[in-house]
Amino acid sequence: MHIPIKVDYGVRALVDLALNAGDGPVRATDIASRAVIPEAYLAQVLNALNKSGFIRSVRGPQGGHALAMDPSEVTLSAVMACLDGSDTLVRCLDDSGMCVHVPVCAQREVWRRVEEAVNNVLDSTNIADLADRTRVIESAWRGRASVESFKPVTV
């Protein structure tokens, strides 16, 4: 499965906003810097997230962006729906007329199970989970000598 870069950037921006909640609006420049997202592309992502109600944006010198809802309510499946829009892993799952093999296709059932598994993970993972996990990883990372010596903390 391919996760579009727009979704990856959107999730990174939302996690950054969750990590910096309570500090007032967060400037796009700061999000871009911390999350390593090109500013021009981030502007498009933030605009889409704002239109969908995930964040609120304030213009001006004291402006910036903030989560518009509790991060535990923002699931990865909702972010995917907002920023990607594609509903299925393979098109024949939605439209059986797309493929002549559908009536006798064993693969279709495998793709449906894969899609269900992916959707279950996306539905059960939210921005608060990722922000908490980021804090744990950052804490484990501090004091490490190099990237090579870093061993991820398992969940």
Domain ranges in the chain? 5-86+125-149
CATH class of residue range 5-86+125-149 = mainly alpha
pLDDT band at 90 (very low <50, low <70, confident <90, very high): low
Residue 57 bridge partners (DSSP): 65
Query: How far apart (Å, rounded) are the C-alpha atoms in residues 38 and 60?
Result: 21
For residues 150 and 74, the model is more confident at: 74
Closest CA to 67 of 80, 78, 54: 54
Could you read off the pLDDT of 120-148 as tens digits, one per residue?
999 999 999 999 999 999 988 886 655 55
Mean pLDDT of 22-41: 95
pLDDT of amino acid 155: 47
